[in-house]
Amino acid sequence: MLRQYELVDLVKSYDPDADEDALNRAYVFAMKKHGAQLRASGDPYYSHPVEVAGILTKFKLDCSSIIAGLLHDTVEDTDTSIEEIKNLFGEQVAQIVDGVTKLAMIEQKSANKKQAENFRKLLLAMSEDIRVLLIKLADRLHNMRTLHFCAPEKRARIAKETLDIYAPLAERIGMQEVKSELEEIAFAELHKEAHDSIVARLNFLREQGNNLVPKIIQRLQKDMEENGIKATITGREKTPYSIWRKMQQKNATFEQLCDIMAFRICVDDVTTCYQALGVVHSKYHMVPRRFKDYISTPKPNGYKSIHTGVIGPENTRIEIQIRTYEMHEVAEKGVAAHWAYKQGERVVGRNFKWIRELLEILEQASNPEEFLENTKLEMYNDQVFCFTPKGDLIGLPINSTPVDFAYAVHSSVGDTCVGAKINGEIRPLRTVLQNGDQVEVLTSKAQHPSTEWERFVVTGKAKAAIRRYVRAHKREQFIEMGQQTLERTFKGENLELSDKGLVNVLPNFEAESIDDIYAKVGEGLISGWDVLRAVYPGYKQSKLEKVVNSLKPVFKKSLRKNKKEELKINGLIPGMAVHFSGCCHPLPGDRIVGIVTTGKGVAVHTIDCKQLEKYADEPERWLDISWGDEASQEGVHTGRLKVMLTNEPGSLGEFSNVVARYNGNISNLNIVNRTISYFELLVDIEVKDLKHLTDIIAALRASKVVSYVSRANQ
Ligand code: MN
């Protein structure tokens, strides 16, 4: 075990300004707090945090990290509080220890380690400060080094978890050495036979080949020198775990895996990399399909290097990596990694620069404290990960709520959720979830999705489910809207709206109840004025109504006589009836889709029609259709306009004149709304195609009586 002064010396060797006093106090504090606790090895417990701190000095971490490493288990395993650490060692150390403690708690919560990917992301997201993660990795590394002291059944679980979670995590933040060591120990634990036989084979080859690695290094060194290239060459046998992985992936035997030796050529700059590559390929036979140039196309984690396989010196198949010193630094020690670039972004992001700066600063130890302090990890900060009561992890977008969580678990859970317990406490459904929250959704069969939820949910699944439900229950809303419309219409004319009056006119509207009338008005199938005129047949109409009604009889009968089948639409099912939907009135020129309806053939909708949402979950009903070339010559289509006219004498006449000048034929017209200065109309106009209607719209916009005009899509 590292002694107190040895640890201090180690830190001072790369950071002469380190706070010696604080280091000493932390060492003693950990020792006292862990007291008589023992490790499985029989060592005093405090040897563990001391060794973890020792590992952290290998990463050349700042003084706060080393102190936090010494204290990392005190809050979890002893009576120490974060407050106490804050008072004794300052805010920063306390925050790091708090972060490590939280990670430990998260680890215990997660029962389902199969979700390794989500769990790794959670750890990354939780470790706001990179130092938290580095301490966690050092902690795991020391635990792995002392794994053989644990009970066998515990060992397998820890080893598996290390392979699933921590080795990839180390790789992700670019710590190759840590990753390899974790993997080797876990491999030896989980697949002892395979491990031992690979090690035995390697030993055998080493003896037989009379230690080839140094010989090959020498030859390569000479090759470079002869060509005037300054290079540092290293070589190694691949690790047993990486050989085993290759054997698995390629389904190869050990004998088939000839290139168990890998060499690395490090040079000053990129140009020299390619010169070195030229030398290697001209001297040795290249093994097909082994060449990869990650310099011109770096790996997603920023890794840069040239890889090639050749039949090298001594007639041995070897792998050679060629890179600059800088690339090597980033690949081996660097915290280079995935957070450097969000998916899809190119490599040289802000964060990548940050990693380089971090490396430089750690290397020079000029002022790492300040630097690390301001450096928060920005990984997965657009996501939040929460646990189910069973310990499954669910990843959601940031700002998600228990309702989003419920829908992510299952639609039926979302539809019936009435409340949620977050970390054991009842919380409102609109509560924003935090990383690591455990969420228990409370359900009731009597509950239904609420339109209220739509205001705070963020996931598409929750939104779609709520809308689906609301659409199905729109009638209630139509009733409400219709009632309001009628009340307005009647009140505007100072007439009484009574149930009795409405009951009398039910047959006029094929309605069976007053609610039916309300619903029809709300849905826009009949207007408030239709109802008013029915209830008060003799009512003297307003001037405007008179004008509209006087115009109605002059509308020519529609020219289109249901010759829909003659219309040329590509992609229809032969023999299937087709009709144009009344919601969006598609015209030749519109992008269209067909929906196979039950019993009424194919309904044609414009591609942006809101009604299509209804069929979102039934892809089998969608038909890819398009207008044929002659569609616009094939007769007449109805386009629907929403128009707002100024409420003045002659405006309606002027409006119909414009339409007529452009050879449009008004086939229907309804007032939907009016105020003192404007009235709003829905107008059906028969046109040839989309361009024809667009021309009319343009002309109408130029007219001074038209204050607003557009196509009505609903
Ligand atoms: Mn620990």
Q: How far is the CA of 73 from the centre of ligand 1 (A)?
A: 5
pLDDT of residue 671: 79
Nearest of 130, 253, 156 to residue 198 by alpha carbon: 253
Residues in the chain where the model's pLDDT stays below 70: 108-118, 120-122, 124-128, 172-174, 209-210, 250-259, 299-302, 330, 332-382, 471-472, 524, 540-567, 574-575, 630-635, 676, 713-714
Q: How far is the CA of 509 from the centre of ligand 1 (A)?
A: 77
CA gap 526, 670 in Å, rounded: 10
Q: What are the structure tokens assigned to 513, written together?
A: 């109840």
Q: How far is the CA of 151 from the centre of ligand 1 (A)?
A: 17
Residue 440 half-sphere exposure, CB side, CA atoms within 13 Å? 8
Q: Annotated catalytic residue: which of 43, 76, 392, 680?
A: 76
Alpha carbon 381 to chain centroid, angstroms: 10
Instruction: Report the chain's C-alpha Rg in angstroms.
Output: 38
pLDDT of residue 67: 95
pLDDT of residue 665: 83
Neighbours of ion ligand 1 (CB under 5 A): 73, 139
Alpha carbon 201 to chain centroid, angstroms: 45
pLDDT of residue 554: 46
Helices (H), 209-239: 212-226
Q: What are the structure tokens assigned to 520, written together?
A: 């029809």
Q: Annotated catalytic residue: which of 20, 77, 84, 293?
A: 77
Q: Identify the helix (H) or strand (E) that includes residue 172.
A: helix 167-172
Question: What's the start-to-end Cα distance of the chain, in Å?
Answer: 77
Who's near 379: CB < 8 A, 6+ residues apart?
121, 124, 125, 338, 339
**Is 374:425 a contact under the CB 8 Å cutoff?**
no
Q: How far is the CA of 127 from the centre of ligand 1 (A)?
A: 16
CA gap 115, 125 in Å, rounded: 15
pLDDT of residue 381: 53
Q: How far is the CA of 11 from the centre of ligand 1 (A)?
A: 20
Who's near 509: CB < 8 A, 6+ residues apart?
516, 517, 520, 526, 530, 531, 534
Clarify whether 139 is annotated catalytic.
no
Clarify whether 76 is annotated catalytic.
yes
Q: How far is the CA of 145 from the centre of ligand 1 (A)?
A: 12
pLDDT of residue 150: 86
pLDDT of residue 337: 30
Determine phi and psi for 61, rounding to 5 degrees: -80, 160
Q: How far is the CA of 48 from the centre of ligand 1 (A)?
A: 7
Q: What is the pTM of this model?
A: 0.53
Q: How far is the CA of 361 from the centre of ligand 1 (A)?
A: 27
